[in-house]
A = this chain, B = another copy of it.
Amino acid sequence: MAKSNGISMSVIRRLPRYYRFLTELHSEGVLKISSTNLASIMNVTASQVRQDLNCFGGFGHQGYGYCVEDLKNEIENILGLNNSYQAVLLGAGNLGKAVARHINFSERGFQLTAIFDRDPEKIGTELGGIIIKNDNEIYEYCRQNKTDAVFLCIPKNSVENVIDKLYELGIRNFWNFSHYDIAKVYPDTVVENVHMSDSLMTLCYRINERQK
């Protein structure tokens, strides 16, 4: 994957991991940490830690290290987790439920404002404090309510059916759990894919290799 405004995606994809460890350190009351220590916690080289962090500015103090709290806050800012992007969830099956219930949206820069499903049994019921709406209402909802992102927890062919209309409505940011390749059809969108079964196939490959 290319870059996102100068910073390579490899670096960006490591940020959440830094953030997780720093949050942990902070909650443990650790005040400062050197690149070497952080590296050993993260299982990477100290060089990489320093270079990664230096992409965004000199957060460290020579001879001292990095202040855990400051660095955590810096990364929080870089990732923009203090945002409250308005997102709607499409699909309240098991995956949608898992997403709605387990993800701490507010600490990840989002606010879940609505959930849509086509199953009449589900419509009107509550999920994560939100009443599930009929999925055919999603367009009208997005028209009337600022919607920064759509979380797609529906199958590939269902995505195919809704994506054009969502795009027309101006939605450009997607968290996509399906195998539908949004970025290929709409190159000007921001798409984060979560392909669980790809990950499982990779696991399969690696188990084979280990057993050779």
In the docked arrangement, what's the CA distance between A18 and B78, Å? 34
Q: Which of the segments A29-37, A47-55, A92-100, A131-139 contacts the partner chain?
A: A92-100
Q: A148: which B residues are within 8 A, CB to CB?
A: 207
What is the interface residue range for chain A against chain B? 35 or more
CB pair A43–B181 under 8 Å, yes or no, is yes
CB pair B175–A203 under 8 Å, yes or no, is yes
CB pair A16–B83 under 8 Å, yes or no, is no
Check A149 for interface membership: any CB of B closer than 8 A.
Answer: yes
CB pair A192–B202 under 8 Å, yes or no, is yes
CB pair B149–A207 under 8 Å, yes or no, is yes
Main secondary structure of the interface of A (DSSP, over half): helix
Q: Which residue of B lies closest to A204 (CB)?
A: B109
Q: Which of the segments A63-71, A116-124, A162-170, A193-201 contacts the partner chain?
A: A193-201
Check A17 for interface membership: any CB of B closer than 8 A.
Answer: yes
Q: Which residue of B lies closest to A108 (CB)?
A: B200
In the docked arrangement, what's the CA distance between A36 and B143, Å? 40
Check A79 for interface membership: any CB of B closer than 8 A.
Answer: yes
CB pair A80–B204 under 8 Å, yes or no, is yes
CB pair B201–A19 under 8 Å, yes or no, is yes
Q: A184: which B residues are within 8 A, CB to CB?
A: 43
> Could you list 11 further interchain pairs (A-B, Cβ under 8 angstroms) beyond the known A4-B206, A17-B198?
A79-B201, A80-B208, A83-B207, A94-B95, A94-B97, A95-B102, A97-B98, A102-B196, A103-B197, A190-B206, A192-B200
Subset of 12 A-B contacts with CB under 8 Å? A4-B209, A16-B198, A19-B201, A20-B198, A80-B207, A94-B98, A103-B200, A109-B200, A109-B204, A109-B207, A149-B203, A190-B203
